[in-house]
């Protein structure tokens, strides 16, 4: 197995790493950089995005003929890890959720007109959101529980229902919506596209959360007669579950790529502090308890990188990588939480303050074990895979052999 990055991927990774170090990291120390929700404010974001575009680093996920760089998943894995060395990094490159996943799925399965419809998001002129999760008793990790309905009337679908945890909903202009169109468990859902200026829906609230927020927050939406032309249906009637699978698998993995960057940043900050801080005549870096914590994190991060890269490699080969993504998502989510907690402990009072980004990462990290499938759901995926495949779960891919 060759873990050498292709030259193009390595060149992009290096360029991203340099840009983050020189232009984005310094912004974190300036309180004026932050908006009211703990993210980078619109004015500094616009300025940095203009520089990213000028440097030729913009939208690595989008196809080249649509204004992006069209990088492979393996290349994205290396680059996204570098981007999220900064808490502000991914959005500066137009590589943050949910836009990243929305652009990908529409370019993958949408019509030419639908790809034109998402083009302003690729250019960074608009943001987008993905509407699937519902309040109890509606759909969460189990999309077959969906209650939001779309009923066809001529060439128009009329939507009624409620969604929540719609990330980026406040201020988004482009939306992907999953709604029930039949009672069939597997073919009862359909995906649609709608724009913010269409009547028949509203943002009920921006849900308060414990951590810093993505731009647009996490919103609860109500639909009361939103009309969507059939031409804005994504894939076929009844293909909504397939759309979610196509979108969410790679989206889970790109989360892992970014989370690894945050975990590494926690270690970087903690190690620098431990090298300098003394207590009872001994540097923290020389204490066995601290070294054990940092060594354990280095091990967990490297395992996460390998799991993530293996899943990226499988996706690049055209596979679904379902179990590979579940393995990576579960492990990296745990790694991020462990890194934030252990490194905050090493930093002591400084870690609890806002003098370093570790407290920001600590508050952000807890969602990682919930979003895009809770840990327990991914464990069930792996258990089901083993029950179905047995020892085949651990097969090696081989040239000329379907892995």
DSSP-based three-state secondary structure for 193: strand
The full set of domains in the chain, from first to last, is 7-122 (1.10.540.10), 128-237 (2.40.110.10), 241-393 (1.20.140.10)
Q: How far apart are CA 329 and CA 253, in angstroms?
A: 7
Query: DSSP readout, 292-310?
Result: HHHHHHHHHHHHHHHHHHH
Please list, in sequence order, all residues whose beta carbon lies within 8 angstroms of the beta carbon of residue 175, skipping any fewer than 6 positions away: 128, 129, 130, 131, 166, 169, 193, 194, 195, 196
Query: CB count, 10 Å around CB of 344?
Result: 20
pLDDT in tens, 84-137: 999 999 999 999 999 999 999 999 999 999 999 999 999 999 999 999 999 999
Reading the chain (403 residues) residue by residue, the pLDDT tens digits are: 788 999 999 999 999 999 999 999 999 999 999 999 999 999 999 999 999 999 999 999 999 999 999 999 999 999 999 999 999 999 999 999 999 999 999 999 999 999 999 999 999 999 999 999 999 999 998 998 999 999 999 999 999 999 999 999 999 999 999 999 999 988 999 999 999 999 999 999 999 999 999 999 999 999 999 999 999 999 999 999 999 999 999 999 999 999 999 999 999 999 999 999 999 999 999 999 999 999 999 999 999 999 999 999 999 999 999 999 999 999 999 999 999 999 999 999 999 999 999 999 999 999 999 999 999 999 999 999 999 999 999 888 766 544 4
Identify whether 37 is preceded by a cis peptide bond (ω within 30 of 0): no
153 backbone dihedrals φ, ψ, rounded to 5°: -130, 100
Query: DSSP readout, 311-373?
Result: HHHHHHTT---HHHHHHHHHHHHHHHHHHHHHHHHHHTHHHHSSSSTHHHHHHHHGGGGTTTS
In terms of C-beta distances under 8 Å and separation of at least 24 residues, what long-range contacts does 20-29 make, across chains too? 20/82, 20/83, 20/85, 20/86, 20/89, 21/85, 23/48, 23/51, 24/48, 24/86, 24/88, 24/89, 24/92, 25/85, 25/86, 27/86, 27/88, 28/86, 28/87, 28/88, 28/357
pTM: predicted TM-score of the whole model, two decimal places: 0.96
Left (φ > 0), alpha (ψ -120 to 50) or beta: where does 213 sit? beta
């Amino acid at each position: 197995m060759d873990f050498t990055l292709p030259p193009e991927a390595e060149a992009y990774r290096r360029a991203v790493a340099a840009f983050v170090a020189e232009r984005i990291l310094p912004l974190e120390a300036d309180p004026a950089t932050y908006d009211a929700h703990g993210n980078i404010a619109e004015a500094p974001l616009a300025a940095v995005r203009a520089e990213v575009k000028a440097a030729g680093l913009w939208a690595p996920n989008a196809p080249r003929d649509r204004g992006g760089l069209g990088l492979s998943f393996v290349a994205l894995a290396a680059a996204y890890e570098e981007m999220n060395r900064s808490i502000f990094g991914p959005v500066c490159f137009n590589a943050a959720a949910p836009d990243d996943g929305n652009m990908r799925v529409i370019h993958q399965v949408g019509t030419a007109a639908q790809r034109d419809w998402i083009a302003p998001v690729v250019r960074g002129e608009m943001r987008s959101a993905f509407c699937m999760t519902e309040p109890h008793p509606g759909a969460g990790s189990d999309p077959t529980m969906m209650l939001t309905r779309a009923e066809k009337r001529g060439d128009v679908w009329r939507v009624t229902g409620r969604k929540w945890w719609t990330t980026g909903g406040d201020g988004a202009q482009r939306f992907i919506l999953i709604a029930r169109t039949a009672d069939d468990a597997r073919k009862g859902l359909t995906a649609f596209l709608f724009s913010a200026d269409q009547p028949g829906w509203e943002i009920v609230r921006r849900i308060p959360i414990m951590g810093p927020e993505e731009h647009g927050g996490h919103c609860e939406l109500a639909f009361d007669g939103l009309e969507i032309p059939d031409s804005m249906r994504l894939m076929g009637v009844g293909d909504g579950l397939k759309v979610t699978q196509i979108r969410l698998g790679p989206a889970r993995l790109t989360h892992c790529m970014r989370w690894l960057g945050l975990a590494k940043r926690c270690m970087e900050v903690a190690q620098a502090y431990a090298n300098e801080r003394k207590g009872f005549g001994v540097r923290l870096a020389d204490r066995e308890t601290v070294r054990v914590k940092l060594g354990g994190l280095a091990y967990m991060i490297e395992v996460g990188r390998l799991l993530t890269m293996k899943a990226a490699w499988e996706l690049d080969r055209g596979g679904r990588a379902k179990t590979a993504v579940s393995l990576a998502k579960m492990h990296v989510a745990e790694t991020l939480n462990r890194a934030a907690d252990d490194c905050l402990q090493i930093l002591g009072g400084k870690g609890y303050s806002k003098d370093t980004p570790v407290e920001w990462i600590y508050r952000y990290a807890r969602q990682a074990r919930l979003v895009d499938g809770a840990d327990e759901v991914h464990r069930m995926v792996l258990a089901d895979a083993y029950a179905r495949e047995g020892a085949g779960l651990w097969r090696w891919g081989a040239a000329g052999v379907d892995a």
